[in-house]
Amino acid sequence: MVRLFILLAAAALVLLILALISGLSADRVRHLPRAVWVLVILLIPIAGPVAYFAWGRPVAARRAPARPSSPDDDPEFLRSMNVEQSRREREMLANWERELNQSGESQTAEKHDEEQPDGEQKDEKKP
């Protein structure tokens, strides 16, 4: 029973300290002046800090969504990277097709040069 009492007293002390720190460091408090909240926290053992957290603590203001801290968390950056990657891949594919067409044309020209005037191909490996 003594251990339970010590545990509850420690929890009440932690709650009191947290409420005091929060009440004194807040820019504004709700419903009562700051001095009254400090007195409520100090004079009413457990209900004072609980009341402060329930009704006196300032409500966090709605903020605009924060910008991502790293580029890989930023959807806009990732989208631009995908667009850039796609553009590079299209250019690379166009270059490969151009090179393939050029090499195909040169091979066709070589085959055309090897043909004899009557349409037959040269047979250089005849015994």
Same domain? For 12 and 45 the reply is yes
* Domain residue limits at 106: 71-110
Residue 83 belongs to some domain of the structure: yes
Q: What is the DSSP string of 89-122?
A: HHHHHHHHHHHHHHHHHHHHHHHHHHB-TTSPBP
Same domain? For 6 and 47 the reply is yes
What phi, psi does 11 have (nearest 5°)? Answer: -65, -40
Same domain? For 52 and 24 the reply is yes
**How many folded domains does the chain comprise?**
2
Same domain? For 7 and 51 the reply is yes
pLDDT range class, residue 19, cuts 50, 70, 90 = very high
Residue 66 belongs to some domain of the structure: no
Q: Mind listing the pLDDT tens digit for each residue in 42-82?
A: 999 899 999 999 998 887 766 666 666 676 677 787 777 77
Residue 119 belongs to some domain of the structure: no
Task: Copy the structure tokens of residue 85.
Answer: 């990657």
The residue out of 56, 81, 100 marking a domain boundary is: 56
Output the pTM of the full model. 0.47
Same domain? For 10 and 42 the reply is yes
